[in-house]
Amino acid sequence: MKHFIRVMKALSDPSRVRVLKLLQDGELCVCDIQTCLRLAQSTVSRHMKVLEDSGLVQRRRQGTWIMYSLLDQHESEYEAVMLSHLKTWLEDDNELKQMRLRTNLVSTEKKHCTV
């Protein structure tokens, strides 16, 4: 039950939900997330730590970069149900649409995350 509470806390922040929505489109590095959210690196890192501790995302190191992606396996049925609804959350959100445009722009303009 404690883990489920951590998931609910993680999903209570709009920026973290938007990050999860962006990660539905594929893996992103911290710098991409920072560009999309227009937040300081330290703030993004705190958000990502909460998401990682809740078991919603996983990270991997690629050279000096930390890459994040959604975690597919969940500890409880409740989490799986909540996250299945994530696919439809915020689809009409203008801020999320702008963030996705920034993600696409960042992906096409830079290649600094490749080793």
pLDDT bucket at 37, cuts 50 / 70 / 90? confident
Cross-strand partners of 60: 67
With CA atoms as reference, report the closest residue to 50 among 32, 68, 63: 68
Mean residue pLDDT of the chain comes to 80
Q: What is the pLDDT of residue 98?
A: 74
Query: And the tokens for 79?
Result: 């989490």
With CA atoms as reference, report the closest residue to 24 among 90, 112, 86: 86
- Give the whole-angstrom CA distance, residue 3 versus residue 11: 12
pTM of the model: 0.76
User: Structural domains in the chain?
Assistant: 2-103 (1.10.10.10)
The predicted-structure confidence for 49-105, as pLDDT tens digits, reads as follows 999 998 889 999 999 889 999 887 766 676 677 777 777 776 777 777 777 777 665
For residues 41 and 30, the answer to whether their CB atoms sit within 8 Å is yes
Backbone angles phi, psi at 48, to 5 degrees: -70, -35
With CA atoms as reference, report the closest residue to 45 among 34, 58, 55, 54: 34
